[in-house]
């Protein structure tokens, strides 16, 4: 009886194991089927959205990281290529800069030629055969060209007391000549004097000299203006009147000087002073024409 009882107990254990295994497999299959049905029917009892969002977020981060690495890797691979392109662009930029400099030089040369051609209009025919074109190579300290050096000397035919003009009109006079260079003073210099006449009436004459007794004369000098007086205080001279060389002294007749800016009557001295704005730009003189001096030295 005891042996039979033990055999029944063993059989019951075997049956229980089989039942548990079968039940587990069945539940698992039911779960799988339920998940599948819920996924496609929209009635998923398990909230897969959270899981899917998590997976999508991980996937997105992975993709971004991959693209970042891919982009930077491409930049690294193209670094040498980009460096070569940059070097080529820098060379091209330098070349363009040089072309601009050369073009500006050509424009400046063209303008200088035009200015010198204009100067020919001021030079009497008798002097054109012996005129010399030259460049200004240095100047005095300060804003205005009161003295300067010309890059032409005795070898080029420059003589002492030669006249200096440019495309705007009278500039000055040569006072010292060496073999290859000449020194000149402009009509702004206190040692310079020029006899002039009014273009509107050649009978109205006067002289330009910076040594006058005009009130405020230093202010006029600082502004680059000329000063002078009329030979006769009765002459009808007005602001805006044009002055040209009179032909007396060293300067040939008809060279443009400037225009009257102000007229000052000095009743006590019976003098009529004039303040003149020169046509030549005495802050910027590059190219000039040198004319041989006249033989007549009556007035410097």
pLDDT digits over 185-205, tens only?
999 998 888 999 999 999 999
Q: Where are the alpha helices (DSSP H) in 223-285?
A: none
Q: Which residues of 207-230 are buried (b: 16+ CB within 10 A; e: fewer)?
A: bbbbebebeebeebbeebbbbbbb
CA distance 182 to 124: 23
More confident residue, 22 or 33: 22
pLDDT band at 59 (very low <50, low <70, confident <90, very high): low
Q: Which pLDDT score is estimated for 103?
A: 54
3 exposed, middle or buried (CB, 10 Å; 0-12, 13-18, 19+)?
Answer: exposed
Q: Which pLDDT score is estimated for 116?
A: 54
List phi, psi (to 5°) of 190. -65, -20
Highest mean pLDDT among 20-24, 57-61, 202-206, 209-213: 202-206
Record the pTM. 0.59
pLDDT band at 213 (very low <50, low <70, confident <90, very high): confident
Across 55-64, 200-209, 276-285, least confident range: 55-64
More confident residue, 170 or 26: 170
Query: Where do the domains of the chain lie, and which CATH numbers do they carry?
Result: 125-291 (2.40.10.340)
Q: Which pLDDT score is estimated for 263?
A: 94
Q: Which pLDDT score is estimated for 48?
A: 47
Q: Which pLDDT score is estimated for 273?
A: 93
**Over 80: is that where the pLDDT of 299 sits?**
no
Torsion sign, CA atoms 73, 77, 80, 84? negative
Distances (CA, A) of 108 to 15, 102, 103, 112, 134: 115, 10, 9, 6, 15
**Over 50: is that where the pLDDT of 72 sits?**
yes
**Over 90: is that where the pLDDT of 40 sits?**
no
For 157, left (φ over 0), alpha (ψ -120 to 50), or beta? left
DSSP class of residue 124 equals: -
Torsion sign, CA atoms 215, 221, 225, 227? positive
Q: Which pLDDT score is estimated for 267?
A: 81
pLDDT band at 55 (very low <50, low <70, confident <90, very high): very low
Report, as an integer, the average pLDDT of 82-95: 72
Report, as an integer, the average pLDDT of 147-164: 93
pLDDT band at 63 (very low <50, low <70, confident <90, very high): low
Q: Which pLDDT score is estimated for 68?
A: 54
**Over 70: is that where the pLDDT of 220 sits?**
yes
**Over 70: is that where the pLDDT of 100 sits?**
no
More confident residue, 250 or 236: 236
Instruction: Output the six-digit token pair for 117.
Output: 């051609």
pLDDT band at 252 (very low <50, low <70, confident <90, very high): confident
More confident residue, 295 or 56: 295
Question: Cβ–Cβ contacts within 10 Å for residue 69, how many?
Answer: 10
Q: Name the nearest CA neighbour of 208 among 244, 253, 169, 254.
A: 244
Mean of the per-residue pLDDT values of the chain: 75
């Amino acid at each position: 009886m005891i042996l039979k009882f033990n055999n029944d107990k063993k059989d019951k254990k075997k049956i229980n194991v089989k039942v548990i295994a079968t039940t587990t497999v069945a539940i698992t299959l039911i779960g799988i089927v339920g998940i599948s049905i819920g996924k496609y029917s929209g009635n998923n009892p398990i909230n897969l959205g959270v899981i899917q969002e998590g997976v999508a977020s991980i996937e997105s981060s992975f993709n971004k990281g991959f693209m970042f690495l891919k982009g930077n890797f491409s930049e690294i691979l193209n670094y040498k290529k980009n460096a070569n392109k940059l070097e080529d662009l820098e060379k091209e930029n330098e070349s363009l800069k040089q072309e601009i400099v050369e073009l500006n030089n050509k424009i400046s040369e063209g303008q200088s030629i035009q200015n010198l051609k204009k100067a020919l209009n001021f030079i009497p025919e008798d002097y054109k055969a012996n005129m010399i074109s030259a460049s200004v190579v240095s100047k005095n300290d300060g804003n205005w060209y009161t003295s300067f050096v010309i890059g032409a000397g005795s070898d080029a035919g420059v003589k002492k007391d030669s006249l200096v003009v440019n495309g705007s009109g009278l500039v000055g006079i040569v006072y010292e000549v060496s073999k290859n260079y000449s020194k000149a003073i402009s009509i702004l210099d206190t040692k310079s004097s020029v006899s002039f006449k009014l273009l509107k009436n050649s009978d109205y004459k006067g002289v330009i000299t910076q040594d006058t007794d005009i009130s405020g004369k230093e202010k006029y000098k600082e502004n680059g203006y000329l000063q002078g007086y009329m030979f006769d205080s009765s002459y009808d001279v007005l602001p805006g009147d044009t002055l040209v060389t009179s032909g007396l002294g060293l300067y040939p007749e008809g060279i443009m000087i400037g225009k009257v800016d102000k007229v000052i009557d000095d009743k006590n001295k019976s003098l009529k002073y004039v303040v003149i704005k020169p046509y030549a730009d005495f802050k910027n003189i590059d190219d000039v024409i040198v004319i041989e001096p006249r033989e007549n030295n009556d007035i410097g």
